[in-house]
């Protein structure tokens, strides 16, 4: 019997091949079938956090808005900084601009899609 790492590796590769070039609606339907609601929530929030990091939003704000630990935010930031980051490549495919250097920025962050309209009005 293959060990867990082999099982994971083989099956992730097989699913990746099966989904390659598939219709986005099929992939979305498959993901909702694959994940429990709480797993889908967790995966969606990880995607959102990496987009927010790429936009330059402070990590503490992202953690607060998404209800995630700073540890998860830091992990996402670390993944974006890696040479040849798969996150960066996939975000680029999704049309998300990712700066070459991801770091803590001291300038005002770009408006976040997570920010509420009332928060934006209060800031003006």
- Residue 118 resides in a domain: no
* Spatial CB neighbours of 58, under 8 Å, sequence gap ≥ 6: 104, 105, 109
Mean pLDDT of the chain: 85
Decide if 61 is inside a domain: yes
pLDDT of 120 reads: 46
Q: What digits encode the pLDDT tens for the residues 42-52? A: 999 999 999 99
Neighbouring CB atoms inside 10 A of 65's CB total 18
Domain range holding 77? 43-94
Instruction: List pLDDT tens digits, range 9-22.
Output: 999 999 999 999 99
- Asked if residue 66 belongs to a domain, the reply is yes
pLDDT of residue 99: 85
Number of structural domains found in the chain? 1
Asked if residue 85 belongs to a domain, the reply is yes
**pTM attached to this predicted model:** 0.74
Q: What is the pLDDT of residues 80-116, one digit of tens each?
A: 999 999 999 999 999 998 887 765 443 344 555 565 4
Distances (CA, A) of 23 to 17, 18, 20, 29, 36: 13, 11, 9, 10, 22
- Overall average pLDDT of the 116-124 stretch: 46
């Amino acid at each position: 019997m293959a060990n867990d790492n082999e099982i994971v590796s083989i099956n992730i590769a097989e699913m990746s091949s099966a989904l390659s070039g598939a219709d986005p609606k099929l992939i979305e339907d498959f993901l909702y079938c694959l994940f429990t609601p709480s797993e889908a929530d967790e995966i969606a929030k990880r995607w959102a956090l990496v987009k927010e990091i790429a936009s330059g939003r402070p990590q503490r704000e992202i953690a607060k808005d998404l209800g995630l630990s700073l540890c998860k935010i830091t992990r996402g930031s670390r993944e974006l900084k890696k040479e040849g980051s798969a996150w960066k490549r996939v975000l680029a495919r999704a049309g998300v601009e990712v700066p070459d250097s991801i770091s803590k920025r001291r300038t005002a962050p770009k408006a976040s899609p997570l920010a509420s309209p009332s928060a934006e009005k209060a800031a003006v």
